[in-house]
Structure 1
Amino acid sequence: MERRRVPDRVFGAGEEPDPRFSLANERTFLSWIRTALALMAAGVAIEAVELDVEPHLRLASAVVLVLAGISSSLLAWFGWAGSERAMRAGEPLPSSAFKPALAVAVALAGVLLGLGALVS
């Protein structure tokens, strides 16, 4: 008896790929989840620690990091599902415009903190 796997939208079509590829896809998903957790923790830490940074810019930087972390966790799921579906269908893996956006968000948080340190 074959066990039902969810989500059916991912596992319900195509052929089973080489397990090594599925496991690599899962490791990538988990690394994005770790990145999301680190971004959210950094945002919380920036607000929790009394940095000598202008408060509004410190808060803006923290919010940018927490939002980037939330986005990372959501997009990790969609990236995993898209890659798994593509492998099952024998199609090229999808690309993501999220990686440059994440780099911009982290850079923006750094700029906000830098400016906050200069004006305080």
Structure 2
Amino acid sequence: MASWPDLVTGDRLRIEHRTNASEQGLAVARNILAGPGEASAFTSVPYVWSDQYDMKIQIYGRTRGADAVRIVDGDLASREFTALFGRDGRVTAAVGVNMARSLRALRPLVADRTDWATVPVAA
């Protein structure tokens, strides 16, 4: 099940990362144990990460097609920041560079597709 239709956007998703593979395996096991008529569709907040020299880059959600970006913590010059990406008035992704703890706090905004108008702005 490396590729599946996203229930929210209708887009076909394909995420080749070990986190996604683990989540899909758990979903299959839950559905097998649930029995006929009780299975549920796979949903997920996609997550990927990569270490690039001195930067740890992490992403929740999907940045593709974003029409808005907002830095919510840190700044680009220091190479330590978190940013939210939005599309059609909803939060679609959170990106963090060298700020893992701050990024984890933004995951619920992606999962809930939070209204962009309520997104915090960096001080």
What range is the shorter-chain TM-score in? under 0.3
Larger RCO: 1 or 2 (CA < 8 Å, sep 6+): 1
- Structure showing the higher helix proportion among its residues: 1
- Structure showing the higher strand proportion among its residues: 2
Of structures 1 and 2, the larger Rg is shown by: 1
The normalised TM-score by structure 1 is 0.27
